[in-house]
């Protein structure tokens, strides 16, 4: 009991008097309540100003967005390259099939004369076969060329 009375007399107790931890916390809360209220008022003023400004500029923003969208739609549409790639592959396969199966041709010749960029791709898929220092067409290449014709 004597200890509790001693702490209460020093202002370190839990009472609602001005001293002690609780009292300091209550004072800090009161000070910060005033600051928080002032900050809330400023935020409300800024939000109101932004709302008014946004309402005032809305027609200009919408008109600008529509102009950009119409300009975007007027651009030339992109052309798909898939069709041209398929045609280029068919032409390359037809040219490979027309080669003489007894006489190998070099990869450089295939690139230069037939425009084949990756010879290994045609080897992998069975249209060309490695023979000596060059490549010869396979039966698959001839069958594909006959099928296209």
Residues 105 and 68 reside in one and the same domain: no
pTM of the model: 0.43
Residues 52 and 109 reside in one and the same domain: no
Tell me whether residue 11 is in a domain: no
pLDDT of residue 97: 84
The answer to whether residue 13 scores a pLDDT higher than 60 is no
Residues 61 and 99 reside in one and the same domain: no
Q: Residue 98 belongs to a domain with what CATH number? A: 1.10.10
The answer to whether residue 1 scores a pLDDT higher than 50 is no
Residue 9 to residue 21: CA distance in whole angstroms: 14
Residue 53 burial (C-beta neighbours within 10 Å; 0-12, 13-18, 19+): exposed
Q: Which domain holds residue 141?
A: 82-148
Residues 58 and 91 reside in one and the same domain: no
Dump pLDDT digits (tens) for 43-61.
877 777 667 777 777 788 7
Tell me whether residue 7 is in a domain: no
Output the six-digit token pair for 11: 């202002």
pLDDT band, very low/low/confident/very high, at 124 (cuts 50, 70, 90) = very high
Average of per-residue pLDDT across 132-139: 89
Q: 139 by DSSP, 3-state: which?
A: helix
Tell me whether residue 9 is in a domain: no
- The size of the chain, in residues, is 149
Residues 62 and 94 reside in one and the same domain: no
Tell me which DSSP letter residue 105 carries: B
Tell me whether residue 95 is in a domain: yes
The answer to whether residue 114 scores a pLDDT higher than 70 is yes
The answer to whether residue 9 scores a pLDDT higher than 50 is no
Higher pLDDT, 149 or 13: 149
Q: What is the DSSP string of 23-87?
A: HHHHHHHHHHHHHHHHHHHHHHHHHHHHHHHHHHHHHHHHHHHHHHHHHHHHSPPPPPSHHHHHH
Residues 86 and 144 reside in one and the same domain: yes
Residues 69 and 119 reside in one and the same domain: no
Dump pLDDT digits (tens) for 62-99.
888 888 888 877 776 777 777 788 888 888 888 888 88
Average pLDDT, the chain: 78
Average of per-residue pLDDT across 17-46: 81
pLDDT of residue 18: 57
Q: 135 by DSSP, 3-state: which?
A: strand
Residues 63 and 110 reside in one and the same domain: no
Across-strand partners of 137? 128
Domain tally, the chain: 2
Across-strand partners of 134? 131
Tell me whether residue 22 is in a domain: yes
Q: Residue 148: name the closest of 99, 100, 86 by CA.
A: 86
Tell me whether residue 5 is in a domain: no
């Amino acid at each position: 009991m004597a200890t509790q009375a001693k702490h209460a007399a020093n202002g370190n107790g839990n009472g609602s008097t001005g001293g002690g931890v609780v009292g300091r916390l209550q004072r800090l809360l009161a000070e910060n309540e005033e600051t928080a209220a002032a900050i809330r008022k400023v935020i409300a003023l800024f939000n109101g100003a932004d709302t008014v400004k946004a309402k005032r500029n809305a027609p200009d923003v919408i008109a600008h967005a529509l102009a950009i969208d119409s300009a975007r739609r007027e651009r030339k549409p992109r052309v798909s390259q898939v069709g041209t790639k398929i045609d280029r592959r068919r032409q390359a396969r037809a040219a490979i099939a027309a080669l003489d199966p007894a006489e190998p041709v070099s990869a450089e010749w295939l690139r230069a004369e037939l425009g084949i960029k990756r010879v290994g791709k045609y080897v992998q898929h069975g249209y060309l076969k490695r023979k000596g220092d060059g490549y010869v067409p396979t039966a698959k290449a001839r069958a594909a060329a006959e099928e296209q014709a």
